[in-house]
Structure 1
């Protein structure tokens, strides 16, 4: 069964790469105050490139979900090849624009094999 879902994840990556665009998922670890030195080290930024499709929400989705604000977008990201999965604390960069991830963050994960992440993003 796992081999089937692995093939599905590879197909999702191939299609999103073909019809979507590269996106950057950025994880920022804030430097913690060091009381011995009285300083705060710079933030640590880790990035990974993913393949994604940026979409508008439909009118029906606006009617059914009061958490969607005007200007929000739906970002579908292929799970295959990611070093880590996206979290609500990450930022995404699409077409040079930085977006915050807004709940809910959906993971399409049949039988324990991540295939796709669906994110609601806001700039």
Structure 2
């Protein structure tokens, strides 16, 4: 196990122990039928992980490129599941929308994800 893999494991354990349950709702498989002009809905996967919802600091605002709106929060997610910008989130059962994702991946090893979220 490399140093960064060990760090990722420790981060995941800490987020699971001290963080909140997070569910990523990922839709897939939507298709368009050109014959009848209808969209057939796909399925929604529920990907479970852990995270910590917190306020922004000046450093995280700079890392995410600014554009922080009042009410936006920073969600630090475990690297167990890679979030996509199209995912919807449930943090402690409350719905959130992903605005921006910043992976923390030194040497190409995902440790966690900093996600700007909005209600």
- Same structural fold, with TM-score higher than 0.5 when normalized by the shorter chain: yes
C-alpha separation in 2, matches of 1:119 and 1:89:
12
- The correspondence for 1:86, drawn from 76, 80, 83, is 83
- In structure 1, the partner of 2:33 is 34
Gaps of 5+ in 1: none
Instruction: Decide whether aligned partners of structure 1 residues 39 and 63 sit closer, same or farther in structure 2, where only a CA change above 3 A counts.
Output: closer
Gaps of 5+ in 2: none
C-alpha separation in 1, matches of 2:24 and 2:14:
19
- In structure 2, the partner of 1:121 is 117
Q: Is the 8 A contact 1:74 1:118 kept in 2?
A: yes
Where 1:36 maps in the other structure, the secondary structure is coil
Instruction: Decide whether aligned partners of structure 1 residues 69 and 115 sit closer, same or farther in structure 2, where only a CA change above 3 A counts.
Output: same
Q: Over aligned residue pairs, what C-alpha RMSD do you find?
A: 2.1
Report the TM-score, using the length of structure 2 for normalisation.
0.85
C-alpha separation in 1, matches of 2:105 and 2:50:
17
Where 2:70 maps in the other structure, the secondary structure is coil
C-alpha separation in 1, matches of 2:11 and 2:66:
29
C-alpha separation in 2, matches of 1:107 and 1:39:
37
Higher strand share: 2
Where 2:35 maps in the other structure, the secondary structure is coil
Report the TM-score, using the length of structure 1 for normalisation.
0.83
- In structure 2, the partner of 1:73 is 73
Q: Offset at 1:32?
A: 2.5
- In structure 1, the partner of 2:95 is 98
